[in-house]
Amino acid sequence: MLSCEHRARVLINQGVRESMIDPGAIKSVTICSSSKFYATAKRVAGALDEKGLAVFTPRFEYDEEVVTVSPDEKMKLTHEFLEKISRSDAIYVIDEGGYTGQSVCIEIGYASALGKTVILSEPPAEGAVMALTDAVVSAEEFPSALVCGL
């Protein structure tokens, strides 16, 4: 294991789901985020990529804060993104202020149903999301925590 200067502060969910996170087993991560938080998502994706992990991200060019996405495009993008989750070992959700939004809630449920590790950047505002969460690790600490151990 790599030596680390510090370990992240991690909140492990001891509730409905028993957390058994093996960071060494996580080689690929899909970043889930509302388009409101794409700047943070890009920063985390870059840091994970630098650490040698396979990283899947939303299609940032479809930032709904800037462009209008048609219903047909939204359906196509949703299926495409769920496939990225299927190919990942874990998802990392950027949920600033606890906000997830409808699409990210669907992604969390999908990942959980597939048995993927679900990690959030902040405690969620929605209690049902916490029931599907394995850990909460800040966006600043997540890349190092994943390599050093949760």
Q: pLDDT tens-digit profile of 48-106?
A: 999 999 999 998 887 766 778 889 998 999 999 999 999 999 999 999 999 999 999 99
91 lies in some domain: yes
40 lies in some domain: yes
* pLDDT computed for residue 95 by the predictor: 97
50 lies in some domain: yes
Model confidence, pTM = 0.86
Strand 135-136, strand 11-12: pairing: antiparallel
Q: How many domains does the chain have?
A: 1
Query: What 3-state class would DSSP assign to 35?
Result: helix
134 lies in some domain: yes
Of 9, 45, 48, 56, nearest to 147 (Cα)?
48
Of 8, 3, 7, 1, nearest to 121 (Cα)?
8
6 lies in some domain: no
Q: CA-CA distance, 118 to 86, in Å (whole number)?
A: 13
- Determine phi and psi for 111, rounding to 5 degrees: -60, -45
Q: CA-CA distance, 106 to 56, in Å (whole number)?
A: 17
4 lies in some domain: no
Query: Containing domain of residue 42, as a range?
Result: 11-148
* pLDDT computed for residue 9 by the predictor: 46
- For residue range 140-149, list pLDDT tens digits in order: 989 888 776 6
31 Rama sector, left if φ>0, alpha if ψ -120 to 50, beta otherwise: beta
98 Rama sector, left if φ>0, alpha if ψ -120 to 50, beta otherwise: left
